[in-house]
Structure 1
Amino acid sequence: MRAALLLVVAVLVGTVVSVDVWWESAVVYQIYPRSFKDSNGDGIGDLNGITQKLAYLKETGVDAIWLSPIFLSPMYDFGYDITDYRKIAPEYGTMDDFDALMSKAKQLGIRVILDYVPNHTSNESEWFVKSAQKDPNYSDYYIWADGKTDPEDPRKLLPPSNWVSVFRKSAWEYSPVRKQYYLHQFVIGQPDLNYRCDKLREEMKEVLRFWLEKGVSGFRVDAVNLMYEVDPAKFGEVYPDEPVSGTAGTTPDDYDYLNHIYTRDQNETYDVIYEWRALLDEYNDKHNESKIMMTEGYTTLPNMMRYYGNKSINGSIPLNFAYLEELKNTSTARDIKMVVDKWMTFMPTGKIANWVNGNHDKSRLASRYGINRIDAMNMLAMILPGVTITYQGEEIGMTDGYVSWRDTKDPQACNTDDPMNYWRVSRDPARTPYHWDSTALAGFTSGNTTWLPVADNYHTVNLAAQVAAPKSHYKFYKDMVALKRLPAVRAGDLDLRALCDSVLVITRLLPGQSAVLGIMNLSGGEITVNLSSLRLIPQQLTVEASGVNCSLDKGAQVQKHSIQMPAHCALALKSSQICC
């Protein structure tokens, strides 16, 4: 594994420039701005609220914050429908507020990563308005196509193809202005950009440069594998129908009804990511740091790996959705080992792994895995090599909140034809406001209401209570962040063993350093763990982090042949002697 500090030899004047590759073993904390902290009492989280809480994040030890979209938007999809990439949404604040956040973050040593949404804009964007008007400067910025004549009614137009939106129903919408259909793979208000237009590709690079000039440390890139559609020139200048998938229980209005061979994972996508990586690298010397780029692509593992690049071209860090989606609350130690091993095996040599326990699109960690696995899953993401990505609230074990049909805001839920089952697809429960304390509305706002309801359990599950408690999920999380700074975790070899279905042992070894171990007991009963088979590990070990279900306290000494692990205990240890 590469060291956290990469020395780049600059040919210019024979100098050596030190570029900080800070992200190789970083903790990245995702903030969903609407739900983190409201500073002005309007019930919506904002930039000033984030700035107010940067000290908390510094105390916790995170390296960087990743902000879900903060740009000007009509908020049909809460910021993922962008009107102007260079302006701040007024409910979040102003550009001055953003600059103040950047200044405070820099002062505290916290880096800022922005969510970049390149697949689509809002239909209220000036680009789209002018494209609909066939302004020659913007005409080709979006995917436009003529409709088909309805064979049963020649006066009626049908969409250009059978393509379906991720949010259900046709992915095509008719524009009476342009008299053509435009493609939207998400909501109607999110028209897809056309990356076969060279001018548009350069425009999107300028967006990246704008924020890099403001000093951001990188980007999380949204929905990358939907950026390109098949080239219509290969099909007589038409967009072909996608084949039916055969997925049981789906209808032609459902996204899973089709096999998306023409709208996802096109080869050209990777070239754009490689171009953006090269653009970010241009700023290495200017800011004395390497810029991180993480890409979101829900796709196959081999396709994810292509985003890393190859021997001659650097790419991005593909977000590890194999880890996020394949692990369940019933996963055994062997299941977990297989999922981790699979990523490490497929990952190209010299690249950096990442571990994603949750995000704004998925049910929260504590709800997906169960409250007894909160510490185990946080420990695993911290002790494995590479980048740890934490979604806000995971450090205190927040669960999904209840959001009624009346209060539902998520377009993915609102588009359902079955209001009785909206909750099955709603992402709102994972987006409810952060629990700062047990005061009214969880200390999230000084106002009388919140944009989504606060979860009912905030009186007991909140940060203030966990800071005050002798032992808590938050204190365990914070101890694990500190442990991630140790040389063995930053750069050591990984040894992962499932001793049985219930016990997983993660070992990090680096010659000349203390070994670091994580042990999780996934069962409902106490187990005595014998690590004598780990011959490189010294006999005596010190407890460095002890989960809420563990009986041992931090600082306790144990012998490796006999470690008591109560039910659902997650324990992190360090060797008292140098190993290897």
Structure 2
Amino acid sequence: MQPLHLSIVVCCLLALGHACQDSASVPTTAKDWWETAQFYQIYPRSFMDSDGDGIGDLNGITSKLEYLKELGVTAAWLSPIFKSPMVDFGYDISDFFDIQPEYGTLEDFRNLIRRANELDLKIILDFVPNHSSNENEWFKKSVRREKGYADYYVWHDGKVNAATGEREPPTNWLQYFRGSAWEWNEQRQQYYLHQFAVQQPDLNYRNPDVVAQMKRVLRYWLNEGVAGFRCDALPPLFEVLPDGQGQYPDEVVSGATEDAEDRDYLTTTYIENQPETVDMVYQWREVLDDHRRIHGGNSSVLLIETYSPAWFTMQFYGNRTVNGAHLPFNFNLITVMEKSGLSAANVQQAIDLWLQNMPAGRTANWVLGNHDKRRAASRYGLEHIDGMNMLVMILPGASVTYQGEELGMTDGQISWEDTVDPWGCNSNADIYEQYTRDPERTPFQWTSGSNAGFSMGPTTWLPLADDYQTVNVETESAANHSHLTIYKSLIALRRSSKTLQNGSTKYAVLNDDVFVLKRSLSGAASIVYVCNFGSAAVTVDLTEFDKSLGKDTLRLLVRSLDSAKSEG
């Protein structure tokens, strides 16, 4: 076999053997729908505006479900659509059982479910269990110490400074959005815990009534026809128990930053990753399984957000006696690169961290981005977005796409004056760019026309990204070769290939820049992924990775946008 020459930052998929379609006679292992699913995250506020107010909504999503069908995705996960003051844009929920009016009505949601069912698309909702809005009736009742609600949230008297005689917060704990995690409530005369914004008080999961209430939330939306939940912000669900005097311990200085307002200034030993959190996930899984047992139908899926170390994250899968989350989110392709940069070696490290720690018999998943992280094309470089999309589609298990990754959308430029994200707003004009999540939340780019086809109104809730006139669905759909056409080809290949659904996995770093991965299944065509993460042309001999690659024909199936190679 001739050595394979890769042009600058090229990535490609190849089929080994004369057949590019899997043989119908190849035996397959039956898998549930979610095990090889392509999940697509929609940030409702930024996906499609149907009424011209500059804010995306449910009817807008419904109008674009055929786009998702054309992409080939399995399920759409919607960031929160529940009633909210929108301090944290839906993650501060004032009513877990109703729809945010600017997004639509419950009937609009039911229409969305009906249309999704017609198209054989599944809808996943964001479940936000850690906290509510301070405008939620539960919190108002808790402030008034009403019967049944007095301990719905985490309250504390605080402590008195011996030197000054002044009352102070119970601990030095810090919130995610900068500053103290405790807020004094004058009416109740106590502090409450809020690990996010001041307007997002933490629910008290040591209260059985809270546990039961949140299970009711799950059942309510299951009855409305959703196919499962993505569970938000699991690490801080529980904090340690207070000592015999009712006091919590202070965290110690971590040394990670000198900014004393930043959450990373302290460790999070006492406020994250407690064992009770794992058990709560097991209880939620039981709710989903019971619903299916009673009502029938397909499995409902539970996806868990946790930026926790592997020893903790893997517990969410369950054990020999109990099932946990179907898919604890795998953020390694984000976190490893954030720390060390994009390289072939770091890609291998990210994959190893999951596959070498995942319990036997469980399903992997691969994530490139979300509404809390800079867009993948901005983090990895636009020249690498095809290669990274290929990677998550070729690896075993499920994949998760954040809206716009299929187009190569990049971050918008958001000024301090236009900043609305509480994380950014809680800082200042000099440092807000370190914290704001607005750049990755700019409106979706449908066309090169007015407001990128997102809204017919005069303005949009966030400014558009600068590249919308060239990076959009309309333009890329019309092109013979674009990020979008590549993405569609990847999903089509994945859905049709028994090798990608059931095959074994082998991968390696060939040199400083080149990463190669092979999926193989007896009796079917093997699929080989080759990517150059460097900035210079390189020639590699794939037989150094796998000698069988020199014994048969390699046919190019999918190539990156920058590749000059011919398919076929």
Aligned partner of residue 447 in structure 2, secondary structure: coil
Tell me the equivalent position of 1:569: none
Indicate whether 1:518 and 2:529 are aligned: yes
Tell me the equivalent position of 1:239: 248
Q: Judge conservation of contact 1:4–1:22 (CA < 8 Å) in 2.
A: no
Q: 2:71 is matched by which residue type in structure 1?
A: T
539-548 or 159-168, larger mean C-alpha shift: 539-548
Give percent identity, aligned residues only.
48
| Post-superposition CA distance 1:210-238 (Å, at most 9, x none) | 01111111111011111101112x34212
Tell me the equivalent position of 1:191: 201
Q: Distance in 2 between matches of 1:274 and 1:526?
A: 49
Q: Distance in 1 between matches of 2:29 and 2:521?
A: 14
Q: Distance in 2 between matches of 1:203 and 1:4?
A: 38
357-366 or 279-288, larger mean C-alpha shift: 279-288
Q: Distance in 1 between matches of 2:365 and 2:195?
A: 27
Tell me the equivalent position of 2:90: 79
Indicate whether 1:462 and 2:462 are aligned: no
Indicate whether 1:478 and 2:488 are aligned: yes
Tell me the equivalent position of 2:306: 297
Tell me the equivalent position of 1:544: 557
Tell me the equivalent position of 1:163: 173
Tell me the equivalent position of 2:407: 396
50-59 or 174-183, larger mean C-alpha shift: 174-183
| Post-superposition CA distance 1:49-96 (Å, at most 9, x none) | 100000000000000000000000000000000001110000100000
Q: CA deviation at 1:334?
A: 2.1
Aligned partner of residue 456 in structure 1, secondary structure: coil
Tell me the equivalent position of 1:258: 266
Tell me the equivalent position of 2:316: 307
| Post-superposition CA distance 1:316-336 (Å, at most 9, x none) | 121112222112594221221
Tell me the equivalent position of 1:344: 355
Tell me the equivalent position of 1:93: 104
Aligned partner of residue 505 in structure 2, secondary structure: strand
- TM-score when scaled to structure 1? 0.90
Aligned partner of residue 543 in structure 2, secondary structure: coil
Tell me the equivalent position of 1:505: 516
Q: Distance in 1 between matches of 2:535 and 2:196?
A: 42
Counterpart of 2:344 (choices 315, 333, 337) is: 333
Q: Which runs of 5+ in 2 are unaligned?
A: 1-26
35-44 or 505-514, larger mean C-alpha shift: 505-514
Q: Distance in 2 between matches of 1:4 and 1:138?
A: 49
Q: CA deviation at 1:254?
A: 2.2
Q: CA deviation at 1:505?
A: 1.3
Q: Judge conservation of contact 1:4–1:24 (CA < 8 Å) in 2.
A: no
Q: Distance in 1 between matches of 2:203 and 2:451?
A: 39
| Post-superposition CA distance 1:494-548 (Å, at most 9, x none) | 0112111222111111112111111112233333443235244561132221211
Q: Distance in 2 between matches of 1:144 and 1:195?
A: 12
Q: Distance in 2 between matches of 1:284 and 1:507?
A: 36
- TM-score when scaled to structure 2? 0.92
Tell me the equivalent position of 2:44: 33
Q: Specify whether residues 104 and 297 from structure 1 end up closer, same or farther in structure 2 by C-alpha distance, changes over 3 A only.
A: same
Tell me the equivalent position of 1:138: 149
Q: CA deviation at 1:111?
A: 0.4
Indicate whether 1:125 and 2:136 are aligned: yes
Counterpart of 1:61 (choices 36, 61, 72) is: 72
Q: Distance in 2 between matches of 1:372 and 1:246?
A: 35
281-290 or 442-451, larger mean C-alpha shift: 281-290
Q: Distance in 1 between matches of 2:244 and 2:128?
A: 28
User: Alignment RMSD, CA only?
Assistant: 1.5
Q: Distance in 2 between matches of 1:434 and 1:442?
A: 7
Tell me the equivalent position of 2:118: 107
531-540 or 480-489, larger mean C-alpha shift: 531-540
Q: Distance in 2 between matches of 1:536 and 1:315?
A: 39
Q: Distance in 2 between matches of 1:287 and 1:411?
A: 41
Indicate whether 1:45 and 2:53 are aligned: no
Q: CA deviation at 1:151?
A: 2.8
Q: Judge conservation of contact 2:343–2:534 (CA < 8 Å) in 1.
A: no
